[in-house]
Amino acid sequence: MEDPIEKSNLSFRTKFFYGFGSISFGIKNNGFSYFVLFVYSSVFGLPAWMAGLALNLILVADAITDPLVGYSSDRLRSKWGRRHPFMYAAAIPVAFTFYFLWTPPADLTHWQLFSYLLICATIIRVFITFYEVPSVALGPELTSNYVERTSLMSYRYFFGWFGGLTTYNLVWWVFEDKYEGGRFNPELWSEYGLIAAILIFIGIIVTSLGTHRHIPDLIKPPEKKKTIVPEEFKKDKSIFNGKFILRSFPQIKYFLKDSPLFLPLVPLSFLVFLLRVSIWISNCIVGFFNWLISFILVMILPKTLIKSLQALEYFLIGLVKEVVETLTINTSYKFLFFCGLLASVAGGIEAAFAIYFDSYFWQLDSDEMKIRGTSIYIAPVIAIFLAPLFSDKFGKKSTVIYIWAFQIIFAALPFALRYMDLAHGTSLFPSNDSPYLLPVLCVHVVINVAAGIIVFATLSSMIMDLVEDIQLETGRREEGILFSARSFADKAISGFGLTIAGVILSVIAFPTSTEIREIYGGTVPGEILANLALWYIPICIVAFGSALVMVRGYSLSRSEHEKNVINPDTKVWKASEDD
C-alpha cells in the first residue's frame, strides 16, 4: 500500500473527482429542504400535515440504513474495494426515483399520494446514503496530510453548494417564466425532476469512476470468518433458547438489603424504594414477554432456523457493541458529534425563517431574490481557497473557533440593526426602499455563507483526522461509521429546529398569508417583525454559540495527528474480524 506521506500532496484531478459527486447530495438536499413540502402541498394537493408526516417517517429508514451502510462499507471486501460497490449501486435507483418523485400519477387520493411520497422519498434517502457515506469515507484514505484533508472537504462543499444552487436557481430563472402558472404548474416540476435526476446520476458516476483508480491503494479489511455462536450464548443469553431467564431476580436482595422497615416513614427513601420496585417489576414483565415470544418461536420454528436466528442475534449484538465502542471511545469525536447536533438545530431554525425574512422582513421581490441567490455562487469559490489556507496557518481548531465566532455575530448583524430601527426608530440599516439594501444583503450573504463553508469543511476534516486516532484505540478502520452516525444525527435533529421555529411564530402571533393580505394590506406590522427578530437573534446565537463551545473539547493537535499517520498500526486493520 502507498505510504501516506507519499500521498501528502493531492492532484487537482483527485480533489475534483472526490468533490464533484457532492452535486448529487446538494441537489437532493436542496430539493428536500426547499421544494418537496411546497410542491406536494401546494401543487399536487396533498394536505401539508400529511406531506410533513411522510418526510418525518423516512427518518426510520435513515436510522437503519445510515449506520448499516457505514458499518458494511467499512468491512466489505471486493475487487472494487470497500466503498465503490455501494457508490455504483446508488446511481440508477437515486436518479430514477428522484425523477418520479416530482411526477406522481394523476388522480391519486390523498392517502395514495402520501404513500407515493413516502415510498419515493425513502428509496431516495436510502440509496443516496449508499453513495454519500462511502464516498465521503474515501477522504481519509486518499490523503493523510493535515491540510490536504481540509482542501478535499472544501472541494466537496464547493460542489455540494454548486449543485444545490444550480437546480434552485433554474426554478426561478428559467422554469418560473417558462410555464403558465409558474411554480404552481405540475409540468414545471416534472422538468425540474428530470434535469435534477440527470445531474444526480452524472455526479455519482463521475466521482465513482474518477476515484476508481485509487482502489489498489486503499486499506483492506480482514477476511470475514464464519460466525461461530458460543454454546454459552445459545443456552443462557439468546432470546431464542425458550428458557425463562429473569435476570432481575437478584435485584430483590439489592432493594431489600438497603430498605429497612422504617423506609416508608422517610419520603425520599420511600421514593427510592418505590423506584427500585417499579424497575424490578418492569424487568419482570419484559422478561416474561421475552420468554413467551421465545417459547412460541422455539415451538413452531424448525431447529435449523432457530440456529440461524441465534447467529443473526449474536452478529447484531456484536455489531451494536462495535459501533457503540467506535462512537464513544474518543472524547474529541463526542464533542464534535454534539457540536453537529446543536448546529443542526440552529440550521433548522434558519431554514424555516428564511422565507419569512426574505418576504416580509426585507420585502424582496422575485427579481431581487434571484440576484441574491445567484451571488451566493461566489461563496464556495472563496471558501475552497481560504479553508486549507487557514487550516495550515492557524490550525483547524483555531480556524473553526475564530471564523465561526465571527460568522455567528456577522450573520445576526443585519437583523440586530433592523431590529433597532423597528423598535427604537433609528436608521442603522438601509430601509427596504433603499437602493443600497440589495447590494448590502448580497455582500452579507456571500461573506456569511463563505465563512460557514470554511467552518464546516474544516470540521469535517477534523473528523477525518480522528480516524487514525480511533483506529489506534480499536484496531479497526471505520470512517464509514464515524461519518454515518454524524450524518444521521444531523438529519434527525434538524427537524427539531423547524419545530422551534413554528413555536416562535405561534408565540409572536405571526399572521397567516391570508391575514397579511386581507387585514394588513400585504405588509406585516413592524412590531411583529421586531418580535420575530428579537426571538430569532438570541436563539440562533445561543444554539450556534453552544455548538462552537463544543469545539473546544477537541484535543487532537496537528503534531499528534502527524505522529498517528506514521504509526504502522494505522496502515492496516489490526482487529480480528470474526463477524
Comparing CA positions, the residue from 402, 397, 392, 400 lying closest to residue 557 is: 397
Query: Contact 413/429 with Cβ under 8 angstroms?
Result: no
**Residue 42's pLDDT is what?**
79
At 255, the pLDDT band (50, 70, 90 cuts) reads very low
Predicted confidence at residue 519, as pLDDT, reads 80
Question: What gap in Å lies between CA 352 and CA 188, rounded to an integer?
Answer: 24
pLDDT over 90, % of the chain: 46
Say yes or no to pLDDT of 233 above 60: yes
Please tell me which residue, 578 or 151, carries the higher pLDDT value. 151
pLDDT at 88: 96
pTM of this prediction?
0.84
Residue 447: the pLDDT is: 97
HEC-encoded secondary structure of 106-155? CCCCHHHHHHHHHHHHHHHHHHHHHHHHHHHHCHHHHCCCHHHHHHHHHH
Residue 453 backbone phi and psi in degrees, to 5? -65, -40
Fold of 330-579: Growth Hormone; Chain: A; (1.20.1250)
Residue 504: band (very low, low, confident or very high) from pLDDT cuts 50, 70, 90: confident
Q: What pLDDT score was predicted for residue 307? A: 77
How confident is the model at residue 182, as a pLDDT?
Answer: 78
pLDDT given for residue 247 in this prediction = 46
User: Where do the domains of the chain lie?
Assistant: 1-221, 231-322, 330-579
Name which residue leads in pLDDT, 458 or 571: 458
pLDDT at residue 264 in the model: 46
What pLDDT sits at residue 576?
54
* Percentage of the chain exceeding pLDDT 70: 84
For the chain, what is the largest distance between any 2 Cα atoms, rounded to a whole number of angstroms? 83
- Residue-wise pLDDT tens digits, 190-220: 999 999 999 999 999 999 999 999 999 888 8
Contact yes or no for 578/227 (Cβ under 8 A) = yes
- Look at residue 266 in the predicted model and tell me its pLDDT: 47
Superfamily for the 1-221 domain? MFS general substrate transporter like domains (1.20.1250.20)
Q: In this predicted model, which residue has the larger pLDDT, 521 or 126?
A: 126
Question: Of 92-96, 355-359, 439-443, 566-570, which range is least confident?
Answer: 355-359
Is 330-579 the same fold as 1-221? yes
Query: Mean pLDDT of all residues in the chain?
Result: 84
User: Grid coordinates 429473569 are at which residue?
Assistant: 246
pLDDT of 188 above 70:
yes
Q: Which of 458, 444, 445 is nearest to 343 (CA)?
A: 458
Q: Regarding predicted confidence, which is higher, 298 or 257? A: 298
Asked if 514 contacts 369 with a C-beta cutoff of 8 angstroms, the reply is: no
Is the pLDDT confidence value at 89 over 70?
A: yes
pLDDT of 113 strictly over 90: yes
pLDDT grade for 137, boundaries at 50, 70 and 90: very high
- Give whole-number Cα distances, 251 to 246, 258, 266, 280, in Å: 10, 11, 21, 7
pLDDT in tens, 518-573: 787 778 888 999 998 999 999 889 989 999 999 999 999 999 999 999 998 887 77
User: Which one is predicted more confidently, 498 or 459?
Assistant: 459
- Per residue in 20-41, pLDDT (tens digit) is 999 999 999 888 878 888 888 8
Contact yes or no for 531/511 (Cβ under 8 A)? no
